[in-house]
């Protein structure tokens, strides 16, 4: 199970992300970000592949830092990375991800940044991992 829900925010985009595991939560975040920037309408041919590695102080900052790193490459490459080939999260708060994406001439929404505001990965008593993230629009 993984889900991304858009919640209300006066000016920006507030997302609630839930998943059965930390691994799935990270996947949901990556795909959710891609969907916000350019909702996928049909099957695409993947033209670019990119490996990204990020290290942080804890899993919440790791999650936000990873999404920001992907966002950077979306903007520089003008490419929507929405296919996760591999995702490896280590206990030392390091993540390695291999992504594939398709080139795009125009985004549906310009996301300036993934913010740390309200972000906090927590695990419920039922074992569900969840966090809020706010995208600066």
Partner 1 sequence: MVSFEQLVKINDWEWEIPITTRHDMRVPAYIFASLPIIEALLADRSLDQLINVTTLPGIEMAALLMPDAHEGYGFPIGGVAATRYPHGVISPGGIGYDINCGVRLLKSDLLYKDVKERLEILSKELYKYVPSGMGKGGPLKLKINEVNKVLQKGAAWAVSNGYGVDTDLLYIESNGRLKEAETKSVSSKAKQRGHDQLGTIGSGNHFVEVDRVSEIFDIQAANAMGLQKNQIVVLIHTGSRGLGHQNATDYIKVMISEMGNYNIMLPDRELACLPFNSPVGQDYFTSMAACANYAWCNRQVITWEIRNAWINIFGENAHLNLVYDVAHNIAKLETHQVNGKNKKLIVHRKGATRAFGPAYPELPDAYQLTGQPVLIPGSMGTASFVLTGTESSMKKSFGTTCHGAGRSMSRRAAKRKIHGRELQDELYKRGIFVQAGSLSGIAEEAPAAYKDVNLVVEAVHKAGIAKKVAKLNPIAVIKG
By the criterion CB under 8 A, which residues form the site for partner 1?
Answer: 6, 8-13, 56-57, 61, 65, 68, 71-72, 75-76, 78, 104, 106-110, 112-113, 115-119, 134, 136-137
21 versus 130: smaller Cβ distance to partner 1? 130
Cβ proximity to partner 1, 37 vs 89, nearer residue: 37
Considering the complex, state which of residue 85 and residue 136 has its C-beta at the smaller distance from partner 1: 136
Count other Cβ atoms within 10 Å, centred on residue 78: 14
Token pair for 121: 């990965």
Q: Shortest gap between Cβ of 38 and partner 1 (angstroms)?
A: 9
Q: How far is CA 58 from the centre of its chain?
A: 16
Place of tokens 């310009």: 110
Residue 58 vs residues 67, 119, 124, 136: alpha-carbon distances, Å: 14, 12, 18, 22
């Amino acid at each position: 199970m993984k889900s991304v829900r858009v919640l209300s925010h006066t000016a920006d985009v507030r997302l609630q992300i839930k998943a059965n595991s930390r691994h799935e939560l990270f996947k949901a975040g990556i795909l959710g970000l891609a969907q916000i920037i350019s909702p996928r309408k049909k099957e695409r041919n993947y033209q670019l592949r990119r490996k990204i590695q990020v290290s942080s102080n804890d899993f919440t900052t790791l999650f936000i830092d990873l999404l920001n790193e992907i966002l950077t490459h979306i903007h520089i490459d003008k490419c929507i990375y929405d296919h996760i080939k591999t995702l490896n999260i280590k206990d030392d708060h390091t993540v390695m991800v291999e992504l594939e994406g398709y080139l795009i001439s125009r985004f549906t929404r310009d996301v300036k940044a993934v913010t740390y505001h309200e972000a906090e990965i927590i695990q419920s008593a039922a074992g569900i991992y969840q966090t809020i993230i706010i995208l600066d629009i």
